[in-house]
Chains A and B, each alone.
Chain A
Amino acid sequence: MNMPFYVAPEQVMKDRADYAQKGIARGRSLVAIEFGEGVVLCAENPSRNLRKVSEIYDRIAFAGVGKYNEYDQLRIAGIRHADLKGYTYSRDDVDSQALANQYAQMLGQIFTHEMKPLEVEILVAAVGHNPEGDRLFHLRYDGSVTDEDGYAALGGEAEAIRERLAEADTSDLDLGSAVRLAVSALSGPDRSIDASELEIGVLDRLSEGRCFRRLENGDISSLLNS
């Protein structure tokens, strides 16, 4: 009778984590920054159609990096969760923390129980009626959640981007300066990113109802050049 080789649980987890990290590191990064009038989510994305940043609900947005089909499935599940909750209770009862917890449960479950972990990192961003109400929940492939303050970076180069953002002055930002800061943090000092390679979504604090909007190429160029 064949006995399977014994593999220490530490080793299994480490292998899965390495596998997921490799998958995530292949893709490009994204950042989210809180500013006076809302939250901006900015991704380096050469595709016009395979989106990384999108709307979940009135004041909640989603961003994902890694394997497209996997984070897109999470995005749709998030929309369904929020719309069902809003239908059952009310639009005011849909909150970002419950959604982040659900995502964490699911990612953790898959990481420990399935053969293959999800090769994704996702962000649940929510805009409050005042800046204290803003939330950035950063979720990793193993289900760990970080409640980020002020800004968040996801993807292969997240560490370097976070360092650049930590050095920058993030007080008194408006939309234009927040976008410019996000793009310079993404690109680093040695290169520049064209507007056509950027995907930017904004949660407008002062909007009524659905606060999420996308910036078109033209808007991005004019913000970058102002």
Chain B
Amino acid sequence: MTLPIFSPSDDPGPSFPGLLTKVGIDPSYEIARAGQNSPSLSGIDITHGTTVVAARSSDGVVIAGDRRATSGNLISHRTMRKVFRADRWSGVAIAGAAGPAIEMVKMFQLQLEHYEKVEGHSLSLEGKANQLSQMVRQHLPAAMQGMAVVPIFAGFDKRRQRGRLFAYDVTGGRYEEEDYVASGSGSIHARTVIKLGRGGDLDSDATVNLLIKALFTAADDDSATGGPDSMRGIYPIIATITADGFVHLEESDIAARFSAIVDEFTLPEEAIR
């Protein structure tokens, strides 16, 4: 691997995908291009990730996702990660075709880091959201072939000193939401729970509990969403992003919160006939 030096007119600047193109490594959008010329892939069972949610709290945002990946009607992975740290102040969660989605996240993380190192300061939250929007848009041809990737983006805006949420559609459309965002097959159920549970200004802890209830309900009503798996010790991934940065919740903490919900929903013995 050589030292990439460019003439001023040829310099890719702080863009990492731009750099990849300049040095002749095709970025992940190969899949997108392949999609343009091939017949629909909808007949092929590719791995899909499902429900991810994020909501604003009084001191930032909370972002969460289940762990199940499905291929058609089969469960292909029980421990897939869909919630990722994008950089110190933001996180991204993905739903859709797992392969391209994970590659998109990798590229997004690298782009944020590369920009920060080359320029000496990080992108604004708005700039990060726009970068992700461009990546989703470049993936559109593959989305048309049945490999849609629909992320959600959440972060703490240091300039405005508040949490912010962004939802996307397959065309790269970017929509900032005030209270909550959700994506994936179980999102309709998760959204309803959050909508009904919101009220007042919830702090991080209460928001985490609300998202746990939302994921639990999504798993209850959507076969592609994984619930808490106490048998194998697999639980959804949850992270908070506040002025202190991105922090993953401890697995033991998440397990305890889920078991509280299970207790709440379990029928008393005398009610079981």
Q: Which residues of A contact B (CB under 8 A)?
A: 51, 54-56, 73, 76-81, 83-88, 98, 102-103, 105-106, 210
> In whole angstroms, what is the CA distance A105 to B2 when docked?
10
> In whole angstroms, what is the CA distance A56 to B116 when docked?
11
Q: Besides the contacts A81-B3, A106-B3, what 19 more A-B pairs have beta carbons closer than 8 Å?
A: A73-B5, A76-B118, A77-B4, A79-B114, A79-B118, A80-B4, A80-B19, A83-B16, A83-B19, A84-B1, A84-B19, A84-B20, A84-B23, A86-B110, A87-B25, A102-B1, A102-B3, A105-B3, A210-B113
**Prevailing SS type, chain A contact patch:** helix
B120→A81 contact, CB < 8 A: no
Q: Does B117 contact A (CB under 8 A)?
A: yes
Q: Which residues on the A side are within 8 Å of B3 (C-beta)? A: 77-78, 80-81, 102-103, 105-106
- Would you list which residues of chain B between 108 and 155 have a CB under 8 Å from chain A? 110, 113-114, 117-118, 120
> In whole angstroms, what is the CA distance A86 to B1 when docked?
11
Q: Which residues on the B side are within 8 Å of A210 (C-beta)? A: 113
The size class of the interface chain B forms with chain A is 10 to 19
Nearest 7 A-B pairs (CB), nearest first?
Answer: A102-B3, A80-B4, A77-B3, A79-B117, A85-B1, A77-B5, A83-B114
Q: Which residues on the A side are within 8 Å of B4 (C-beta)? A: 77, 80-81, 84
- How distant is A64 from chain B, measured CB to nearest CB, in Å? 14
Instruction: Please name the residue on chain A nearest to B114 by beta carbon.
Output: A83
- How distant is B259 from chain A, measured CB to nearest CB, in Å? 30
Q: Which residues on the A side are within 8 Å of B117 (C-beta)? A: 54-56, 79, 83
A51→B120 contact, CB < 8 A: yes
Give the A-B pair count, Cβ closer than 8 A: 52
A84→B120 contact, CB < 8 A: no
- How distant is B141 from chain A, measured CB to nearest CB, in Å? 22
Quick one: which of B19, B23, B113 has the most chain A CB within 10 A? B113
- How distant is A103 from chain B, measured CB to nearest CB, in Å? 7
A–B pairs, 20, beta carbons within 8 Å: A54-B117, A54-B120, A55-B117, A77-B3, A77-B4, A80-B118, A81-B2, A81-B4, A83-B19, A83-B117, A84-B4, A84-B19, A84-B23, A86-B110, A88-B1, A88-B25, A103-B3, A105-B3, A106-B3, A210-B113
- Would you list which residues of chain B between 1 and 27 have a CB under 8 Å from chain A? 1-5, 16, 19-20, 23, 25
- How distant is B113 from chain A, measured CB to nearest CB, in Å? 7
A84 interface neighbour in B5, B25, B113, B118, Cβ under 8 Å: B25
A87 interface neighbour in B2, B110, B118, Cβ under 8 Å: B110
> In whole angstroms, what is the CA distance A54 to B117 when docked?
8
Quick one: which of A51, A80, A83, A105 has the most chain B CB within 10 A? A80
Q: Which residues on the B side are within 8 Å of A73 (C-beta)? A: 5
> In whole angstroms, what is the CA distance A87 to B4 when docked?
14
> In whole angstroms, what is the CA distance A88 to B19 when docked?
13
Q: Which residues on the A side are within 8 Å of B110 (C-beta)? A: 83, 86-87
> In whole angstroms, what is the CA distance A210 to B87 when docked?
11
Quick one: which of A55, A56, A83 has the most chain B CB within 10 A? A83
Instruction: Please name the residue on chain B nearest to A102 by beta carbon.
Output: B3
Q: Which residues on the B side are within 8 Å of A81 (C-beta)? A: 1-4
Q: Which residues on the B side are within 8 Å of A106 (C-beta)? A: 3, 5
